[in-house]
Amino acid sequence: MQATKIEAIKPHPYADRLEIATIGGWDVIVGKNAHKAGDIVVHIQPDSMVPALWAERWGVTPYLTWKKNATYGRVRAARIRGIPSFGFTAPNCTNAPLGQDLSGYYDIQKYEPPPPPVGMQAGQMRNENPLFHRYTDIQNLRNHKDHFCYGEPIVITEKIHGTNSRVGWVRNKDTDMHEFVVGTHKTQRDYKDCGIYGLPAEKYGANLAELFDWFIENTEEQINSVIVFGEIFGAGVQDLHYGAKLEKDYRIFDIALNGEYINWRSLEYLCTMFGLPTVPVITMGVFDFEQLLEEAQGSTKLNDDHIREGIVVRPMVQELTWQKGELDPNPNRRMIFKVISSDYLTRKDGTEYH
């Protein structure tokens, strides 16, 4: 949460006393004449957890989501007179300069989803092999709209609302042999007791083994790791089930060889060759920021007619990295972003388990 600039003020099409403030890649509904373009404000984004003290001072207590006896309220996106509003603005009472992080000053925390229900048990944990690396921390494009490769051909895939899975083969330093590994986004699990996270191996074990053999036969360098990243979804996983009401399913969205991600064209080719399912491709081409916001809306491409969670965007042919600068101290950060749909953010009674 930073001190940020209001880039533009637009009229609200359905309310004379309201306006729409554009802050980075976000639109926030504000009172008419409350702000002007160029103002430095504090933008409290959706899924921020606001202390009760500041919520009271800002007059937003009734608009936050509070659990019983909670001392922090959750900010949610909402439709105000038919227009999505992503969080709210607070005055820059400290006169903080543009870009200064104010999370500590206001004690703003990020919302943490609850643990999964019994039907999504993850099995027994294991000590994590250091070569079994975690997946990219994909950033929201609305927060970094100027850091994407808009002039390059990109692929837009559907972001599935499920639980993140990683499986693959990593070299065991003690035996110098490859071992099959299974895990959640953050933990490695015992392959013999990995709960829901064994689903990729149960449904596609032979196909995954053929994929690994292909890498062995076609890679000149020593293979330390082949990791397949996917999403498990369906019955009992989240509130969006994609037509899998009685069972769970799985889709791949990335593959890494020795810690380096292969490009989408290669991923699609290999998954087709070995009969492995991938997340749906919505479209490909060259897009600007506003067009990507539009592509995030609509219905899922999977077997149902409910809303889509959003999209993931990345270069189609080659892996790229972000522009270097203060927003990106990591020189190897991938050029891959997510855009969450307005309908998903404003839906009621949704689940968001880890």
Name the CA radius of gyration of the chain, rounded.
22
Strands 337-340 and 139-140, sheet pairing: parallel
Same domain as 89, residue 163: no
Same domain as 158, residue 99: no
Same domain as 323, residue 212: yes
Question: Per-residue pLDDT tens for 195-231?
Answer: 899 999 999 999 999 999 999 999 999 999 999 999 9
| CATH number of the domain enclosing 42 | 2.40.50
Beta bridge partners of 284: 155
Residue at which a domain ends, from 67, 82, 110: 110
Same domain as 146, residue 289: yes
Instruction: Say if 40 falls within a structural domain.
Output: yes
Q: Select from 308, 196, 298, 158 the least CA-distant residue to 241.
A: 308
Strands 109-110 and 48-51, sheet pairing: antiparallel
Residue at which a domain ends, from 51, 82, 110: 110
89 vs 81: CA distance, rounded Å: 18
Same domain as 212, residue 175: yes
Same domain as 262, residue 129: yes
Instruction: Say if 193 falls within a structural domain.
Output: yes
Res 322 pLDDT > 90: no
Other CB atoms closer than 10 Å to residue 289's CB: what's the count? 14
- How many structural domains compose the chain? 2
Question: Per-residue pLDDT tens for 124-162?
Answer: 888 889 999 999 889 999 999 999 999 999 999 999 999
Same domain as 64, residue 139: no
Tell me the residue range of the domain where 291 lies.
118-345
Same domain as 335, residue 228: yes
Question: Per-residue pLDDT tens for 250-296?
Answer: 999 999 999 999 999 999 999 999 999 999 999 999 999 999 999 99
Question: Per-residue pLDDT tens for 56-74?
Answer: 999 999 999 999 889 999 9
Q: What is the pLDDT of residue 44?
A: 95
Q: Where are the alpha helices (DSSP H) in the chain?
A: 52-58, 103-106, 199-218, 264-273, 289-295, 342-345
Residue at which a domain ends, from 59, 80, 110: 110
Instruction: Say if 351 falls within a structural domain.
Output: no
Cβ–Cβ under 8 Å, residues 126 and 188: yes
Same domain as 305, residue 157: yes
Output phi, psi for 180, to 5 deg.
-80, 135
Same domain as 101, residue 128: no
| CATH number of the domain enclosing 189 | 3.30.470.30
Instruction: Say if 352 falls within a structural domain.
Output: no
Instruction: Say if 164 falls within a structural domain.
Output: yes
User: Which residues lie below 8 Å from residue 67, measured CB to CB, with a gap of 6+?
Assistant: none
